[in-house]
Structure 1
Amino acid sequence: MRSNYRNNIDDALSIIGYGRWQIPFFALTFLIHCLVPIHMMGSTLLSVPLPFRCFSSTAVPLEATSLLNSTSQPPAGTYDSECGAARQNVSMPASTLRKTDLSSCSYVQYDHSVFPSTVVSEFNLVCERSLLRPLFQMVMSLGALFGAPLGGVISDKYGRKRIIIGGTVVNMIAVAMIASCPWYEAVLFSRCLVGLTAGFFVLPSYSLAQETTPPRFRSQIGMLIGLGFSLGIIVLAGEAFLVRHWRHLQLTAASLLLIIIPLACFVEESPRWLSQMGRRQEAADTLKRAARRNGIAITPELVEMLEKLIAEDENSDDVLAEGRGNEKPLLRFRNLFDKCRSYFRYPGLRRILCVTPFIWYLQTLLYLGILLNANNFTSNNPFVYVALSGVMDFIAISLTTPIAVRVGRRCLSMALYLISGTLLLLDIAIPAEMKRLKWVFVMTAFLLCAASYQVQFIYTPELFPTVIRSRGFGFVNGTGSLGLLTAPLITDLLVQEVWWSVNVVCGLAGIISSLLVSLLPETRNLPLPETLQDVEKRLLNTRN
């Protein structure tokens, strides 16, 4: 029989402890998080808009064609980045002058003093083609929007390990296409594929790491994994400083895949997933190997737990355990729709499914909104800006880690969101002359937002039962990708009409997120729920 709420796998992991067996899981997830920045915020360094100047066809000197490959650069101040210019009597060398198909800029000359080549300069995304530049980032977010929930579904059906291996291999192919395609349309397709496949390995790897970690260590391990993202941002800034060509930078930053793919083949499958798929003997054998590798003796108590795990009733009443046959596509889709609809019959799960997507959308909007707006308070140097973002993220996670162990996820998230949103709203009242005080308010809000983001990466998977953890986490993370699409519209377009719009929108996003988190149950020091019934029991225990 199933244990009342405390499940056998959590009890077994508590005895096995954290040691050599879990290190490959942690290393895999940590390296994957180090890889994410080149995909998520790589456009900051890959598609940098370079200063340029335009020439009409009549204004280009005849000798310009012989100077196209010249390395001499005119003074930076001569690049006005204005379209439709009709310069006459050009006397200086037309270094790196390029002919375009733009009506307002027949010939263009870029300032390559900092970057020898970016997406903007290679594909001439200036003047009337400047509207195509944001697509480089948006198509990646669009791919992630569908990749996160799709990866969760595939992970729950075929296992964490398989989807991680498949996703990283396809991701590596897509990166190679980005670095080699001569057409912007093909680059955009490859970027979309990168975002799609990132959802196949980022969230499943996190679920794999959490599902193999004893309950008492999950907070620390989750936060340490988050440091991989911060470290990846800092390393990306250093790589960009040394490797300035955008194609070379793309390959260099994504070279971590050469380590991640073999490591993904080395790790074992999640014993939780094996148990939920009815492969309980394999799950028990995996836990035995874990105990031996961690140097733990196979005690009678551990043997008894594993025997109970093997003897568990396989006729589970979980809705996902049904209908894994070979139905026709239309029937399979209908069954999937019926299963999704059946989730809402459970009050506890219904609340989670209704609340968490809005939290992730708002927190992504808050995080990215501050990040884009923070450039006004830091530096116009892109390398310093990216590195500083990583440092702030690192500090936020480091400060949150010890607090999350002692304070519940729910209370901590509520406080971080509330203070972050309030600081942004108060920033509106600070006079423009007090730049340092405004900087402190905005940067503090960013630190708190970054910390709350990391707490959610631990909190949200703990809310869902194992049978739908990956697809549930993928679904809410996918809704967060909508925030990636929405934030640029506010920081780039709406702010031109209303100067305080970023503060108000992001501030309210933080306050509303705090209110929504109050509707969710606490998960600190509780075993991960295995079934939908466990989620309902947790809700009843919370009420009592």
Structure 2
Amino acid sequence: MGATEDGFDDLLTSIGFGPWQIIGISATLLVVAQIPIHQVGSPFLNGPMSFRCSPTPPSEELSRVPDLRKANGTYFNNKCLEVPMDFRNNIASISSNGTAHFTGLASCPYVEYDTSIFASTIYSDWHTICEQEYMRPLYQMVYNTGGLIGSTMCGHIGDKLGRKASILIGSVGHLIAVVLMLTIPSYPIVLTMRFILGVMVSVMLLPSWSLALEVSLPNQRSLVGMLMGLPYSFFTSVNAGVACYLRTWEYILAVGICPGVILIFLVLFLDESPRWLIQRGREEEAIQVLNRAVKLNKSKLSTPLDFTVRKLSQAGTSSERRTADGEETSSRSALRELFRYIRSPAMRLIIILTTPLWFIQSFLYLSVSINANNFTTTSPFLYLALTGAMDASAIILSTPLATRLGRKTMVFGGMFGGALFLLVEQFVPTDFGWAKWVFVMVGFLLIGSAFQVNFIYGPELFPTEVRTRGFGFLNLISQAGFVCTPIVTESLAKNVWWAGGVLFGIAGMLGSLTVLPLPETRNMPLAETLQDAENRMKKSEDKPISDS
């Protein structure tokens, strides 16, 4: 491995773990805490509500008698009207009457919503029913599309501007987008802000994740990386409880983004990654940051810090860094860098295999998470709360197992086993509802374990000089899987009841096979350069021979 890699890990070990690392890790935790309300909050924010269409405003007598309106559950029939063509062109806006809302839709001029589960959602506020039903999946898709676009940007932002600047840009943009989404009553604005939220979350997430890993001690990196996912699980369950109490999408969203407000203030005390500063040739800034780390952690170093940093900067990675910086002035630098990595057998194998792996795991994870409205129409709050609990359990259980069994074993076992449970659930009779809940939740537990381990495994596969961009590429593929999720959960699963489970099972089993040829990274120093990645791959290939 490169001298810089081993030397910087030794330096971190000398500094020790303390308040300096806690600040950087806390920033990542706050970034992660904001994601659930956007990623898996659609069953609450955009949850479907049973409705009844009418060509004219319902009578006031019917509106005043709730028992007649419910009519043993048959009043809200979710059926659109067949309206003559001449009537479609002569719909005039008339004030709403009682609980009926004027929609302007030809097949549903007036609509009443069943408010027994939700007081209001985006679904009811903008009437994404009947001929506007196609608009409902857009709410989830535009967010993940924004995340996909953001993934193409965040790698460059994180590597060029730094981890701290990326977190600041993303957190401020995220807060502005939410405020506009809550204050401007327009569905196009809602979708636009959702797209921007996807971009901003990606701009925050990947650099902050890299920062937390890069400041952690080598022997604690796995533990820190695994536990960083706990805020996502915790706030998934918290959002379910908040939604069960508030029942109105604006209030639920406002509470869900509270961690983002705290994050903006925490960034003021956040230091840049010294590992990144050294990679960029900014030795003086790295020395200042590391001096602050020594003071906060109350450490004592045997070697002067400025001497150690300059020695690290002059190691083997410095020549590659200068070459890369020189190439950036050329319009063909990006293409050259791409060819440079494609020519590397190790990186070529990593890119080819991690692409389907991250697409499938993300598709499975989000599909199960937001499938509450298909799996149960009466307990979406319980469903999301349990998925949050299962996700937290996956992190707690997989953290010690990943350090013992390795990344590859955990990812393969989690994806294959989870897919098998989801497939078997399709054959459980509906009379055994408890058994169906068990199979779905255990399947999600296993998939969540693989998903969490992969968020450590993925960045570890790439060298430091392109780690953020490599992780950004994986997140881009992950977002592509997220974008495709509503196609199955909102369309296919509603028309063919068994299609979702069968597709989840087969995809998960096939995806688990892609991890087998990849190198193991457990208890290994982070690769700093392309040559380090090549050496690691060779050692991984030689290991079975030496062991035997």
Both structures adopt the same fold (TM-score exceeding 0.5) = yes
Identity over aligned pairs, percent: 40
Please tell me whether the aligned partners of residues 4 and 317 of structure 2 are also in contact (alpha carbons under 8 angstroms).
Answer: no
- Output the amino acid matched with 2:79: E
Of 239-248 and 377-386, deviating more is 377-386
Of 431-440 and 382-391, deviating more is 431-440
The alpha-carbon deviation at position 462 of structure 1 amounts to 0.6
Structure 2 residue 480 is the aligned partner of structure 1 residue 482? yes
The alpha-carbon deviation at position 74 of structure 1 amounts to 5.6
Please tell me whether the aligned partners of residues 149 and 199 of structure 1 are also in contact (alpha carbons under 8 angstroms).
Answer: no
Unaligned runs of 5+ in 1: 87-92
Name the counterpart of 1:80. Answer: 77
- Output the amino acid matched with 2:11: A
Please tell me whether the aligned partners of residues 3 and 316 of structure 2 are also in contact (alpha carbons under 8 angstroms).
Answer: no
Name the counterpart of 2:510. Answer: 512
- Output the amino acid matched with 1:534: D
The alpha-carbon deviation at position 438 of structure 1 amounts to 3.9
Of 362-371 and 212-221, deviating more is 362-371
Name the counterpart of 1:220. Answer: 223
Please tell me whether the aligned partners of residues 71 and 95 of structure 1 are also in contact (alpha carbons under 8 angstroms).
Answer: no
Instruction: Give the alignment's Cα RMSD to 1 decimal.
Output: 2.6
Q: Secondary structure of 2:52's match?
A: strand
Residue 179 of structure 1: which of 174, 179, 182 is its match? Answer: 182
Name the counterpart of 1:521. Answer: 519
In the alignment, the residues of structure 1 paired with residue 400 and residue 183 of structure 2 have an alpha-carbon distance, to the nearest angstrom, of: 45
Residue 397 of structure 2: which of 376, 381, 399 is its match? Answer: 399
In the alignment, the residues of structure 2 paired with residue 351 and residue 137 of structure 1 have an alpha-carbon distance, to the nearest angstrom, of: 32
- Output the amino acid matched with 1:29: T
Q: Secondary structure of 1:322's match?
A: helix
- Output the amino acid matched with 2:8: I
Name the counterpart of 1:90. Answer: none
Name the counterpart of 2:24. Answer: 25
In the alignment, the residues of structure 2 paired with residue 375 and residue 112 of structure 1 have an alpha-carbon distance, to the nearest angstrom, of: 15
Mapping for residues 61-140 of structure 1, pairs under 5 Å: 61=59, 75-76=69-70, 77=73, 78-84=75-81, 94-140=97-143
Structure 2 residue 208 is the aligned partner of structure 1 residue 205? yes
Residue 276 of structure 1: which of 252, 268, 279 is its match? Answer: 279
The alpha-carbon deviation at position 71 of structure 1 amounts to 11
The alpha-carbon deviation at position 80 of structure 1 amounts to 2.0
Q: Secondary structure of 2:300's match?
A: coil
- Output the amino acid matched with 2:49: L
Of 41-50 and 111-120, deviating more is 111-120
Residue 390 of structure 1: which of 388, 391, 394 is its match? Answer: 388
- Output the amino acid matched with 1:39: H
- Output the amino acid matched with 1:140: Y
Residue 461 of structure 2: which of 418, 439, 463 is its match? Answer: 463
Deviations 1:161-190 (A, max 9, x none): 101100110111111111011111111111
Q: CA 1:263–1:324 in 2, change beyond 3 Å: closer, same or farther? A: farther
Q: Secondary structure of 1:316's match?
A: helix
The alpha-carbon deviation at position 494 of structure 1 amounts to 3.2
The alpha-carbon deviation at position 417 of structure 1 amounts to 1.8
Q: Secondary structure of 1:541's match?
A: helix
Q: CA 1:49–1:401 in 2, change beyond 3 Å: closer, same or farther? A: same
Q: CA 1:496–1:104 in 2, change beyond 3 Å: closer, same or farther? A: closer
The alpha-carbon deviation at position 451 of structure 1 amounts to 0.7
Q: CA 1:363–1:28 in 2, change beyond 3 Å: closer, same or farther? A: same
Please tell me whether the aligned partners of residues 52 and 109 of structure 1 are also in contact (alpha carbons under 8 angstroms).
Answer: yes
Please tell me whether the aligned partners of residues 281 and 310 of structure 1 are also in contact (alpha carbons under 8 angstroms).
Answer: no
The alpha-carbon deviation at position 234 of structure 1 amounts to 1.2
Deviations 1:227-259 (A, max 9, x none): 010011011112222332212222221122110
The alpha-carbon deviation at position 379 of structure 1 amounts to 6.5
Q: In the comparison of the two structures, how many residue pairs are matched?
A: 527
Deviations 1:75-97 (A, max 9, x none): 433222221179xxxxxx94232
- Output the amino acid matched with 1:142: T
Deviations 1:200-244 (A, max 9, x none): 001111111001001110111111111010011011112222332
Please tell me whether the aligned partners of residues 71 and 96 of structure 1 are also in contact (alpha carbons under 8 angstroms).
Answer: no
Q: CA 1:53–1:493 in 2, change beyond 3 Å: closer, same or farther? A: closer
The alpha-carbon deviation at position 47 of structure 1 amounts to 1.1
Q: Secondary structure of 2:20's match?
A: coil
Residue 450 of structure 2: which of 449, 452, 469 is its match? Answer: 452
Deviations 1:107-131 (A, max 9, x none): 1222234433211111121111111
Residue 165 of structure 1: which of 156, 165, 168 is its match? Answer: 168
Please tell me whether the aligned partners of residues 73 and 111 of structure 1 are also in contact (alpha carbons under 8 angstroms).
Answer: no
Q: Secondary structure of 1:383's match?
A: helix
Please tell me whether the aligned partners of residues 226 and 397 of structure 1 are also in contact (alpha carbons under 8 angstroms).
Answer: yes
Of 115-124 and 283-292, deviating more is 283-292
Q: TM-score, normalised by structure 1?
A: 0.90
Q: TM-score, normalised by structure 2?
A: 0.89
- Output the amino acid matched with 1:84: L
